[in-house]
Structure 1
């Protein structure tokens, strides 16, 4: 899953991808939450090339992600999903 966080101006900035930490129940719940949020364009301007098959969603969930550190280019190193929070964004 591609993830983003707020930059200094409050805009979303790409932070990398999270591919672990998901339980089976979390994946089912996450799919139910994300399907209604699908949109045709990325919510992050100027994202650049993305992998085939990416499905864009409106940023309406906040995830808690554990990670080792930030990389030199501002990406999460060894991220793992912990849980989700709802937002009114």
Structure 2
């Protein structure tokens, strides 16, 4: 539950920094992407037989796509990157 709260906080802070065009979004987006991938891995590897389908669906439909978006935001916000 705490991991989910950290993910939510990371997404909110990244969104706010993105809206303000703040360069620190690179750090929060990278951290949030890491948390999302770790949560997807943890949920799928620790799920019981009855929960496996739900854990996989959550990982592939929510957590991993959000992690990819966060990684893209982080890469595009790297300091010194030319556009």
Q: Which has the higher strand share?
A: 1
Q: Which has the higher helix share?
A: 2
Highest RCO, 1 vs 2 (Cα 8 Å, sep ≥ 6): 2
Q: TM-score, normalised by structure 2?
A: 0.29
Q: TM-score, normalised by structure 1?
A: 0.28
